[in-house]
Amino acid sequence: EIFSSMAKIKDVLELVQDYDVKVEFFDNYIRAQEQYLEYLSEILEVAENVDQLLSKDLSPEHPAIAFRYFNDLNVIHRLKNKVDVFLDEERNNMQFDSEELRDFVAELPTEEDLNGTALGITRLKASYKLNVSDIANGVIANRPSRPLTLPEILDMIQYTYINFEEVKGGNILKFGLDILYYLDRTWTQLTEKEVAEILTLQLKILSFGGCICTHEYKHLLSSLILLDPNASVPSNTHCISFTRSPDCQYHREEFALDRILETFYKLCRNEPVNPIAAVVPYLSKQRHLVCKYVHNNHPYIILQPVQIEYLNEDRPTVAILHDVVSRRERTDLRLHALDFLKRSTVTTIKGRVPSPNKISQTMIVENAIVNKYFPSFRQRLLGVTKLASRSFESLKVSNYGLGGGYTIHLDLLFPAVKHNFTDTTNNRLTTMVTYLTDVENGGATVFPDLGLRVRPQKGSALMFFNLFRNGTSNNFTKHASCPVLYGEKWIANQWVLRNGQEFAYKCDLSNEW
C-alpha cells in the first residue's frame, strides 16, 4: 500500500523519474520494432505479389516475367541494410530465426542481376529483332504475359544503363530509345512527372551516344525544361564511337553489323545464309552426306549403334551424334552440376571477371566422376569416335542464363599459336557439345562461316574437329551459341586433346582432313 504514507508516495515519484532513461530505451525499442515490422510487411507484400504471379503458372523462363520477379524481389534486397542494422543491434526478440531471414535476403537478386536481365532482353531484341511493342506488352516469342507497367518499363531502361561504360554498344542505346519512343507514342495518360522522367532518360541515352549538340537533343531538352525548370540535365560524359550519323538518326535505323555478326544473328533467326566463299568447295560434298549407324564393335554401342548425321563432311567435319546421353544421365548430370555452377569468367589484367561473351554458369565434372557415375555416356563417345580416352578432358557442364549465349569463338586452348605449323602444343582436336535439354526457342549452335545452324536436341552431341591434320587451327569452325529466347539450355562439353590421338587420327603436313 502506498497512499497511506506520504514518504512512500515521494519514493514512487522518484522511482519514476529514475526510469526516464529506460523510457527512452523502450521508445527506441518500439520504434525499431515498428520499422522491422514495416520491413517485414514490405517483404510479405512482395512475396504475395510473386506468389500471385507464380500461382498463374507463369514461368521465369519468360524474360519479361523474370524481369518482373527480379524487380519485385530486388525491393526486398534493397531493404537489406535496414534488416542488417536491426539484426546487428540485437534488438530482435522475434519468434523466428533471424539468421535465416538474413540468408534469405542475401540470396535475392541484386541490382547487378537486374542489369544483367535488362541487358539480356536488349540482346534478345537485337538478335531476334523483337519488337518493342511486344516487349512492352510482355509478349516474347509469342508467349504472352501481363503487359509491363510504365514504372516497370522505366525501371528496365534504368537498369539497362547501370555500368553502361562497361557494356557500350549501339544496340543497347537503341533499345532504350526505341522503347521510350514507343511509350511516347502510345501512352496517352502520362502525368507530367512521367513525361519528365521519359525525357530525362531519352536525354541521358542520347548523351551516352555523344549526341548533345543535335537538334533532337536540344528539342527534348527544351521540352524537359518547360516541364521542370529545375530538372537535372544529363551531360555528355561518354562520347562513344558508334554514333553513325551526325544527327543521331541511329535510333530509327538498324545498326550496321559486320558480316559475321550479321550472319550469326541471321542463323539464330533461322534465316537463310550463304557459307563464305572459302569453304564452298568443301561443302559441295554435302550432296553425298550420309546418315549412318556406327558401332565399331565397341561393347557399349554394339547393341545400340549410334546414328551419325553429317552436316559437313570435310574441312571441317561437323556431325551430330544422336542419342548419346540417356534421359537418366541427362537428369543426373544437371542435378550434380546444380550445386557447383559458377558464372563463366575470363582472365583479364584485372584478374578473373565475368565473361561478357559467355552469359552462362559452368562447372567441371572431373574424369574420375564421369567414369564412375556416367560410364555409359563416356563409353558411347569413345565407342563412336574411336578416340583414345586418355586425351578426354574433364566434362564441362554449362547452363545459360536469361538471354544467355556465347559469342563467336574458336574452341582453342592456345589461340596464339593457331597458325604455327610447327605447333606442338596440345590443343583441342575435337569438340563434342552434348545437349542435355531441348530449348524451346533460340539457343541454337551456329557456324557463321559454314552457314550452319544446329538446334539443340536433348541427348545428342554436336561434334566437330577444330584442327587440321597438321595441328593448326581450322578457323572455319568458329561458332557461337545463339541467345536463349525462351526456355532453358543445358549442355555438357567434351573436348578431346590432340596428343594421344596419333593412332586414332593420323597427323600429316596437310591442312586437310
Ligand X SMILES: O=C(O)CCC(=O)C(=O)O
Applying CB under 6 A, which residues contact ligand X?
406, 411, 433, 445, 479, 481, 491, 493
Report in angstroms how near the CB of residue 336 gets to ligand X at its nearest: 18
Give 355-422 as a DSSP string.
Answer: -SSB-EEEEEE-HHHHHHH-HHHHHHHHHHH---GGGBPPEEEEEE-TT--EEEE---S-GGGTT-TT
By a kind-dependent CB cut-off of 5 to 8 A, residue 86 interacts, out of Fe ion, ligand X, none, with none
By a kind-dependent CB cut-off of 5 to 8 A, residue 62 interacts, out of Fe ion, ligand X, none, with none
Report in angstroms how near the CB of residue 37 gets to Fe ion at its nearest: 52
Q: Judged by CB, which is closer to ligand X: 175, or 464?
A: 464
Report in angstroms how near the CB of residue 282 gets to Fe ion at its nearest: 20
By a kind-dependent CB cut-off of 5 to 8 A, residue 481 interacts, out of Fe ion, ligand X, none, with ligand X
Q: Is 449 in the site for Fe ion (CB under 5 A)?
A: no
Task: Tell me how far apart the alpha carbons of residues 186 and 182 are, in angstroms, rounded to a whole number.
Answer: 6
Q: Judged by CB, which is closer to ligand X: 217, or 406?
A: 406
Segment 13 to 72, residues that bind Fe ion, using CB under 5 A: none
The β-bridge relationship of strands 452-454 and 395-400 is unpaired
By a kind-dependent CB cut-off of 5 to 8 A, residue 445 interacts, out of Fe ion, ligand X, none, with ligand X
Report in angstroms how near the CB of residue 307 gets to ligand X at its nearest: 20
Report in angstroms how near the CB of residue 427 gets to Fe ion at its nearest: 13
Q: Judged by CB, which is closer to Fe ion: 337, or 462?
A: 462
Q: Judged by CB, which is closer to Fe ion: 72, or 411?
A: 411
CB neighbour class for 153 (10 Å; exposed up to 12, middle 13-18, buried from 19): buried
By a kind-dependent CB cut-off of 5 to 8 A, residue 266 interacts, out of ligand X, Fe ion, none, with none
Q: Judged by CB, which is closer to ligand X: 67, or 406?
A: 406
Q: Judged by CB, which is closer to ligand X: 237, or 347?
A: 347
Task: Tell me how far apart the alpha carbons of residues 451 and 174 are, in angstroms, rounded to a whole number.
Answer: 28
Task: Tell me how far apart the alpha carbons of residues 132 and 143 are, in angstroms, rounded to a whole number.
Answer: 14
Segment 192 to 211, residues that bind Fe ion, using CB under 5 A: none
Report in angstroms how near the CB of residue 319 gets to Fe ion at its nearest: 16
Q: Judged by CB, which is closer to Fe ion: 313, or 411?
A: 411
For the beta carbon of residue 174, count every other beta carbon within 10 angstroms: 23
Task: Tell me how far apart the alpha carbons of residues 391 and 357 are, in angstroms, rounded to a whole number.
Answer: 27
Q: Judged by CB, which is closer to ligand X: 36, or 447?
A: 447
Contact 442, 486 (CB under 8 A): yes
By a kind-dependent CB cut-off of 5 to 8 A, residue 493 interacts, out of ligand X, Fe ion, none, with ligand X
Report in angstroms how near the CB of residue 358 gets to ligand X at its nearest: 7
Q: Which of 119, 438, 483, 486 is nearest to 268 (CA)?
A: 483
Contact 223, 199 (CB under 8 A): yes
Segment 362 to 421, residues that bind Fe ion, using CB under 5 A: 411
By a kind-dependent CB cut-off of 5 to 8 A, residue 495 interacts, out of Fe ion, ligand X, none, with none
Report in angstroms how near the CB of residue 409 gets to Fe ion at its nearest: 6
Q: Judged by CB, which is closer to ligand X: 37, or 413?
A: 413
Task: Tell me how far apart the alpha carbons of residues 483 and 441 are, in angstroms, rounded to a whole number.
Answer: 9
Contacts of 510 (CB under 8 A, 6+ apart): 468, 469, 470
What b/e sequence results for 374-408 when a residue is b if at least 16 CB atoms lie within 10 Å of its CB, and e otherwise? bebbbbbbbbbbebbeebbeebbbbbbbbbbbbeb
Contacts of 58 (CB under 8 A, 6+ apart): 65, 145
CB neighbour class for 480 (10 Å; exposed up to 12, middle 13-18, buried from 19): buried
Report in angstroms how near the CB of residue 410 gets to Fe ion at its nearest: 8
Q: Is 352 left (phi over 0), alpha (psi -120 to 50) or beta?
A: beta
Binding site residues, Fe ion, CB under 5 A: 411
